[in-house]
Amino acid sequence: MGRYLGSKHKICRRVGEALCGSAKCPVHKRNLPPGQHGSMKRQRKLSEYGVMMLEKQKLRFIFGLLEKQFRKYFQKAARMSGKTGYNLLLLLETRLDNLVYRAGFAPSIAAARQMVRHGHVIVDGRKTDVPSFQVKTGQTVKMKEKSRSKPTFIAFVEENKDKLPDMPYLERNLGSFEFKVKHMPKREEIPVAINEQLIVELYSK
């Protein structure tokens, strides 16, 4: 299955959760399935396998990954020491595009991915246009000096700087459009409402 290009809010309404991360997601006001008869629909009870598959698809959707990409992340997480589920979330959370979004430079991971691909982002003084780049502890990420003067970026940061959730593992400096990874995020610091153990069990079958 390819990357989903349809309405993100439709997926959120289907699962009953604001997976897109937007404060304006309609799920917050009217948590009903999509369609004109959404209020009359009743979600059928999922099988054990269906529940595990749903968790996997939700996590894929949140980070905007293809199935092949997601499986590679899982395989890498399984080879790491420690809990596979946490390792998987850690790998996804420390992707460059996700951190640009978490830092408050973009309204969504998709927008942050585009920023990275277009060369607006620098890691430790070097232009990095690979969204999947794994940012490590101590590395500093900033926007290119030329990009910082773009009205769209300035307006977004100014409008949202007081609405950003606290990210304990990041040290933000929105005034200079940069942030630093203080430490690898702990599980409780990763704002993803997913039962990762179900995904481990799914791939273990």
Which residues of the chain have a pLDDT value below 70?
1-44
Asked if residue 154 and residue 79 are part of one domain, the reply reads no
What domain range is 86 assigned to? Answer: 8-92+193-204
Residue 1 lies in a domain: no
Asked if residue 83 and residue 103 are part of one domain, the reply reads no
Q: What is the pLDDT of residue 1?
A: 40
Q: What is the pLDDT of residue 45?
A: 82
Asked if residue 103 and residue 54 are part of one domain, the reply reads no
Spatial distance between the Cα atoms of 63 and 4, rounded to a whole number of angstroms: 11
pLDDT in tens, 81-112: 999 999 999 999 999 999 999 999 999 999 99
Distance of CA 10 to the CA centre of its chain: 17
Spatial distance between the Cα atoms of 132 and 137, rounded to a whole number of angstroms: 16
Structural domain count, the chain: 2
Asked if residue 77 and residue 142 are part of one domain, the reply reads no
Q: What is the CATH number of the domain that holds 103?
A: 3.10.290.10
Asked if residue 199 and residue 145 are part of one domain, the reply reads no
User: Of 171, 177, 179, which is closest to residue 157 (Cα–Cα)?
Assistant: 177
- In this prediction the pTM is 0.82
Q: What is the pLDDT of residue 100?
A: 96
Q: What is the pLDDT of residue 5?
A: 55
Q: What is the pLDDT of residue 160?
A: 87
Residue 19 lies in a domain: yes
User: Of 56, 38, 35, 32, which is closest to residue 46 (Cα–Cα)?
Assistant: 56
Residues paired with residue 180 on neighbouring β-strands, in sequence order: 140, 171
Asked if residue 153 and residue 180 are part of one domain, the reply reads yes
